Chains A and B, each alone.
Chain A
Amino acid sequence: MDAQAVWLTLKLAACTTGILVVIGLPLAYWLATSTRRWRFLVDAAVALPLLLPPTVLGYYLLVGMGPKSFVGRWYESLAGHSLPFSFTGILLGSVIYNLPFAVRPFTAAFAAVDRRLIEASWCLGVSRGETFRRVTIPLCWPGILTGMVLAFAHTVGEFGVVLMVGGNIPAVTRTISVALYDDVQALQYTAAAQSAAVLMIFAFAALCLTYTLSRRSLPL
């Protein structure tokens, strides 16, 4: 098995999950509490990767990040290299592609919190931010953890977007699933079998964990 690929995959999954927590929690909180009429548009946009083939997203990312685009040129002048076929490139693709896997469990958890608990906290003089930290997060942690596990696991198994945006550069964009595809192309069935087994066991373990979490509602 390709140790470099394993390390790269874990790094990609950890970074993706971290970024999704930072942008996903506020986004999910907004989705769970907003009464705006156009909220459905954001809901749909977040869920889009669930239906979209990864190649479609990969294509738009390639075009959007390429040297002909404004973003691509701006990034290149800043970082000295282009976004496609770099780690940052596949990280960006992976964050967008995994948005629903993190945001949807987060949103469900936030929506399940009794509104009166939040209001009770406000009436006790505790600010909105403090209330979020001291009431919402403790009550939502199983949902938040579920979202993180799903996002992490789904990134580990990510294939299409990574291949489209990143190609197959060892130690830069060659993740386990890309290595597996490559091994099969090269008729290296032993290595392929190992990678497949690792991904399979990992995915199963991650799902087991999320189902245990979903049974746990409160830390009592």
Chain B
Amino acid sequence: MMQELDADFEKRFAGGPTIRGRLKLPAAGPGVTVLFGPSGCGKTTLLRALAGLVRPESGTIKFGSEVWFDAERRISRSPQERDVGFLFQNYALFPHLTVAGNVAYGLKARRGATALVREILARLKVEELADRYPAQLSGGQQQRVALARTLACEPRLLLLDEPLSALDAPVREQLRGELRHILLESGKPAIMVTHDRIETLALADTVVVMTDGEVRQCGSVQEVFSRPDNLAIAQIVGIETVEPGIVQRVESGLATVHVGTVTLTAVAPAVLPREVFVCIRGEDVLVFREMAAATSARNRLTARVTSRVAEGPMIRVGLDCGFSLTALVTRPACEELNLQIGDQVVALIKAPSIHLVGHG
């Protein structure tokens, strides 16, 4: 039987919102699930309920064959009994203990604890910090130590609450890719909360979109971003096209990327692994009837119109140009071009409008 984390519960806040957590995720093996949504939508509450730090009013939470919470049967396992790792937004390192003391904290007097601490600190490349106190560490170092402390206890499930939001922008970018590696290497399923699109793209295998206390859509990165279930989700994810791509080469700051059957030119970010997500916003795609004689846009693609969906004053035009591309054009523009499904058109995308997000 497939081990599954199965949550379906309601948490009500007096005079506040009601959070409905409905979630079914694999409960074994590596993989990062990102709970994505605007601030205040209930992501953190959902995560805390999974950890046992928040007690819902109704519903159930099951982990494989174990019942973690069942309101009717009055079962509520404590955080200690659930055996999960929780990474707090501000890392919550114990200020009175050294780095080594923090990492060893949950290990009790187990034999070989000292060696295990050293091994984990080395794995996360912070072994030279073992004798320092948390106040003497940078944000990035604190994050690693907190991760080490969590991983040392070998939890069955990792829960991370905005793990990158407490960091400065340049550090955040650098640690994003490393965090995914650490989480996959741990071999445990991880659920991470964020409100950041790029973080979601860079870290997620599965995306769970939440708004107003409800889980709205759950699927792969590409599914959720490129094929949102409805307009509300489309507006939250905010990027109309997300396709996997392979970087072929980088020359003088420009990356050549293979997507579907075509090759695109994009401005290369500082750090660029081979496997990327190619992200294109709908309003950055220009649609022409015929190929323009000369244009500054680096990417000129012949395409076929596959769908037309009205979205307020805009029309969402689905294009097949070797991969599925979505363009957002105004209603008058669409009428002027007389775009019909099946028509041949040309799509132009400027190189800086194509964002590459590493996803190794």
Contact = CB atoms under 8 A, between A and B. Distances in A.
B79 interface: yes
A119 interface: yes
B96 A139 contact: yes
Given A122-B80, A123-B86, 19 more contacts: A114-B92, A116-B90, A117-B92, A117-B95, A119-B86, A119-B88, A122-B53, A122-B79, A123-B80, A123-B84, A124-B106, A124-B153, A126-B80, A135-B94, A139-B95, A218-B95, A218-B96, A220-B95, A220-B135
Contacts of B105: 121, 124, 126, 134
A175 to B, nearest CB: 38
A125 B96 contact: no
Nearest to A121: B105
A138 interface: yes
Nearest to A124: B106
Contacts of A125: 80, 83, 106, 153
A80 interface: no
A198 interface: no
Contacts of B149: 124
Interface of A: 114, 116-117, 119-127, 134-135, 138-139, 218-220
A138 B96 contact: yes
B51 interface: yes
Query: Which of the listed residues A121, A123, A135, A138 has the most CB atoms from chain B within 10 Å of its own CB?
Result: A123
CB-based closest 5 A-B pairs: A124-B106, A123-B86, A120-B92, A116-B92, A122-B79
Contact of B94 (A117, A122, A127): A117
Contact of B51 (A123, A134, A138): A123
Interface residues of B, number: 23
Main DSSP-derived SS at the A contact region: helix
B78 interface: yes
Contacts of B153: 124-125
Interface in B187-230: none
B88 A120 contact: yes
Contacts of B37: none
Nearest to B134: A220
B288 interface: no
B189 to A, nearest CB: 16
A139 B133 CA distance: 14
A123 B79 CA distance: 5
27 contacts: A116-B90, A116-B92, A117-B92, A117-B95, A119-B53, A119-B86, A119-B88, A119-B92, A120-B86, A120-B88, A122-B53, A122-B78, A122-B80, A123-B84, A123-B150, A124-B105, A124-B150, A124-B153, A125-B83, A125-B106, A126-B105, A126-B106, A127-B80, A138-B96, A139-B95, A218-B96, A218-B135
Query: Which of the listed residues B51, B53, B133 has the most CB atoms from chain A within 10 Å of its own CB?
Result: B53
B358 interface: no
Contacts of B133: 220
B177 interface: no
Interface string B135-173: 100000000000001100100000000000000000000
B337 to A, nearest CB: 55
Interface string B95-135: 11000000001100000000000000000000000000101
